[in-house]
Structure 1
């Protein structure tokens, strides 16, 4: 039903995020683009033909949006954490049937569908309403209308090996991910605090773990 499309690194500026990834993985991300009306822009790092890393930050070239930026980027507690260092904050799952899934789960759980585009890339996304995403452990859903972005991004040699989600209420988290067809894609563990963990491996054998906390 769904699979991991990309993981998201939050940063106060794209320069901070690019420097963090280069220091952590030894590879420079490439330019992405802006998200008009959303108040953000991004850079990208390829993880093969089916996955990538997105660095996302507030876009100083856009006016303040009339709504909160995605992935809790406007949340004061997250901004304080990002002042110390950019970090993994979320992931996005792709589905070939976005409208049926939103209709089945209801927009109160999945959010409204928003159409987006950059050049000849077009896609639609549904972001779970804030405070209903279990600290970004329930991902936004994306459906690419043609070729996926990952196929166009230069391969860094890194791969996403596994993604772990830790939360106090594993039963609720399991139910939410199962409803989206993601129980095989994300390993769920009980923890007093919420945390997302991405395990990456390079083709040369190097391994890196990225965490949200």
Structure 2
């Protein structure tokens, strides 16, 4: 059974992304680090022991990566959108059986597994092939080797209350999420335009909704 591991805010720069999160949620994300060879770096906001918010942006300290950056960050239309303002762009789901899921779905649907690490954290991920992710509504899958990153991030008091996905082909999206163990984790609705919707709730009662479009 998979579950939501983190939500992803895309930004032109980390500084812009951090400022956006602070304006929306009232707390600044903490320093993350670079994804060596991927061409990105991030900042993180804790949302409990099993979930967090990631701000991700192209890393000017790295050379251009050999492959496209994740979450369509190299897509011209998304780059244009992020010049105006950071925004919700994706989410990532964790599974305790990544290898089995990838073997069952095959690389054409699940993508290839890649090993990643930073400091004391290490993990494996499988990104759906580009244009197979239904506009980032089918999430990459992650399996942490040992403790999850969320346990090491200062708690902001915010929690993920609900996650929704809208798409013209809701049936196919729902099926793709179900075979990944996410049938109960994401509410899927029919809509003319693809959209990811995240509902956050603070322990003091505040609520915020983020959307990808």
Residue 150 of structure 1 aligns with which residue?
150
Q: Which runs of 5+ in 2 are unaligned?
A: none
Residue 192 of structure 1 aligns with which residue?
192
Residue 26 of structure 1 aligns with which residue?
26
Q: Which runs of 5+ in 1 are unaligned?
A: none
Task: Give the alignment of 1:153-164 within 5 angstroms.
Answer: 153-164=153-164
Q: Is 2:174 the partner of 1:201?
A: no
Residue 13 of structure 1 aligns with which residue?
13
Task: Give the alignment of 1:86-97 within 5 angstroms.
Answer: 86-97=86-97
The 1-side partners of 2:65 and 2:117 are apart by 18
CA shift for structure 1 position 66: 1.0
- Matched residue SS, 2:4: strand
- Matched residue SS, 2:17: helix
The 1-side partners of 2:99 and 2:158 are apart by 32
CA shift for structure 1 position 77: 0.5
CA shift for structure 1 position 183: 1.1
Q: Which runs of 4+ in 1 moved over 2 A?
A: none
TM-score under structure 2 length normalisation: 0.99
The 2-side partners of 1:191 and 1:46 are apart by 31
**Aligned-pair RMSD on alpha carbons?**
0.5
TM-score under structure 1 length normalisation: 0.99
The 2-side partners of 1:172 and 1:180 are apart by 13
Residue 178 of structure 1 aligns with which residue?
178
The 1-side partners of 2:183 and 2:175 are apart by 9
